[in-house]
A and B are shown apart, each in its own frame.
Chain A
């Protein structure tokens, strides 16, 4: 009988790195790479006719060509340059507006607080797609206008989240202690309440990045977002929809949307587990 005297070597693992977080990170990093380096990762110009029209996938054209003879793989990677910045921008602006209004409503309450929340209720009572369509249609086509429409649809979600969190945190004893030590209301809100309120908003915002990409693609699909010939995923799928027997035209952008939405959802899930271990 021999007893090993050395303890088994522990594999050093990063505590925060869970499986969903890892998968999500790989996917999102891939698309970030595409966003920044699409021109160097692809051979063909996404806007030029580079071959015969509607060619099936081959070594020359990994995802085939579309009805105008443009390379689908190249257009798909370039599509990230439109979708990702818009998603990040829309979510950032929506969080900025929603979180501040929600925090004000939750902390100060009163007439202004109630008015903000009624506005939230009204906005959320529309199906998001329908409201975004209406706003985008009235503003005219273009990705910029689609982004404005999406901010208008999206901010109320964060207002509600933030308000709920502020309402809970402001009842905690350390807030009362801060008031009792003579801190003013603005100081109490910014230093003693808000730093404890970000988690739900952060998780929701991460997951929403995927949803906003989906919504932007939907708007483009029905012609309210990107205008041709922009290589935007939604309008590419729209192109593919009319080429029923050339399945590859819609495959590239379809996969792109599927993976990136999945990626952001995974990251959101991972963050959720990390911040709230009890919910696992």
Chain B
């Protein structure tokens, strides 16, 4: 990948704020990400960290009344402030999305085939409904749903969780998108089914050369899948880097905590590791580093100074003590 190429998807300083009683609180506080063609970016973070909101807002799907600022470029085209019409053309054709709960994401009163066909029809005005239905069968076959020609006429309740998620994936790739955003695609599924769905996703990503954003709260899911990983905490990216270096040498204590929380079959432990405390609520962030109340190595500086982003170009972390460099303003040691 040459350096001068425009990235597929580039988010710069994205901020999303929710207003109540005239007061705005930022749920996303300046996230910057880049996804190149055919690259898999994992976004990991706890519930409420703002990872989903950020990606929804990037496609103009923020809840009503939310204020979105910053820049989101898709193939060089600015999406923030784009017209509803322009966004609609992009969604489902060039950029597609998969949601967490595959049952509630499907219309319960439409057959599965009609819904997949709708995804095709929406972005191919010339196509006949018969041809769209034929394409729907092909798409179901593509995501390895057995007997697709029979299954198209069934309703979502006749599908299992994993099969429903396959349908969602089929709808998402119906128009051969360049970018696929998968928001916790396996969270609502059984563990055994999770692996199958990840397999389908990885397979399609390869075959269609998709840029894939994989949002998850399970760092373990990303290990074998992602090229790069961004760790989000309290609406900011606290660490970002290639998956291998990030796992091998995490720079941020939060990332280390997440890695330690992955259950390990080889080591017998009395209790699974967990990070103490909960993420700070909107609008009541602690001073300094937002992670400091939960961090195991908090010093005075962490309580007063917001940590800068440090590290090499492709692996960065927002911690005063990242990569073994101690901050020279540290006066607590």
Contact = CB atoms under 8 A, between A and B. Distances in A.
B91 A180 contact: yes
Contacts of B93: 182
Interface string B110-126: 10000000110011000
A182 B105 contact: no
Interface string B84-125: 000011111100110101001111111000000011001100
B107 A181 contact: no
B212 interface: no
B110 A177 contact: no
A179 B104 contact: no
A116 to B, nearest CB: 18
A173 B88 contact: no
Contacts of A177: 97, 99, 105-106, 168
Interface stretch (A189-197, A218-226, A229-237): A189-197
Contact of B106 (A174, A187, A191): A174
Nearest to B109: A195
A181 B107 CA distance: 13
Interface in B45-75: 59, 61
Nearest to A185: B84
A182 B122 contact: yes
A179 B91 contact: yes
Interface string A144-186: 0000000000000000000000000000111011111111100
Nearest to B60: A179
Interface string B265-305: 00000000000000000000000000000000000000000
Interface residues of A, number: 17
B101 A183 contact: no
Interface string B24-61: 00000000000000000000000000000000000101
Contacts of B59: 180
A179 B62 CA distance: 11
A75 to B, nearest CB: 46
Contacts of A183: 88, 92, 118, 122
A180 B99 CA distance: 10
Contacts of B107: 174, 178, 191-192, 195
B171 interface: yes
Given A180-B97, A182-B123, A183-B118, A174 B104 contact: yes
Nearest to A171: B63
Contact of A182 (B91, B110, B168): B91
B96 A181 contact: yes
Contacts of B118: 181, 183, 191
A40 B104 CA distance: 54
A181 B91 contact: yes
A184 B88 contact: yes
B199 to A, nearest CB: 22
Nearest to B174: A181
A176 B101 CA distance: 12
Chain B: interface residue count, which band? 20 to 34
Given A182-B89, A183-B122, A173 B101 contact: yes
A109 to B, nearest CB: 8
Contacts of A181: 91-92, 96-97, 118-119, 122, 171-172
B249 to A, nearest CB: 36
A109 B96 CA distance: 27
A173 B105 contact: yes
Nearest to A172: B104
Contacts of A196: 108-109
A183 B93 CA distance: 11
Contacts of A180: 59, 61, 91-92, 96-97, 99
Contacts of B99: 173, 176-177, 180
A182 to B, nearest CB: 3
A172 B92 CA distance: 18
A111 to B, nearest CB: 15
Contacts of A179: 61, 91
Contacts of A173: 99, 101, 104-105
Interface string A192-225: 1001100000000000000000000000000000
A172 B88 CA distance: 19
A173 B103 CA distance: 9
A176 B91 contact: no
B84 to A, nearest CB: 8
Contacts of B119: 181-182
Among A182, A191, A192, find the residue whose CB has the most chain B CB atoms closer than 10 A.
A182
A191 B115 CA distance: 10
A109 B119 CA distance: 27
Interface in B124-142: none
Nearest to A187: B122
Nearest to A182: B92
A158 to B, nearest CB: 20
Interface of A: 172-174, 176-184, 187, 191-192, 195-196
8 shortest A-B CB distances, which residue pairs? A182-B92, A181-B92, A173-B104, A182-B91, A180-B97, A177-B105, A174-B107, A195-B109
22 contacts: A173-B99, A174-B104, A174-B107, A177-B105, A178-B107, A179-B61, A180-B91, A180-B99, A181-B92, A181-B118, A181-B119, A181-B171, A181-B172, A182-B88, A182-B93, A182-B122, A183-B118, A191-B110, A191-B118, A192-B107, A195-B107, A196-B109
Given A174-B108, A177-B168, 15 more contacts: A173-B99, A174-B104, A174-B107, A176-B61, A180-B96, A181-B97, A181-B122, A182-B89, A182-B92, A182-B119, A183-B118, A191-B107, A191-B110, A191-B118, A196-B108
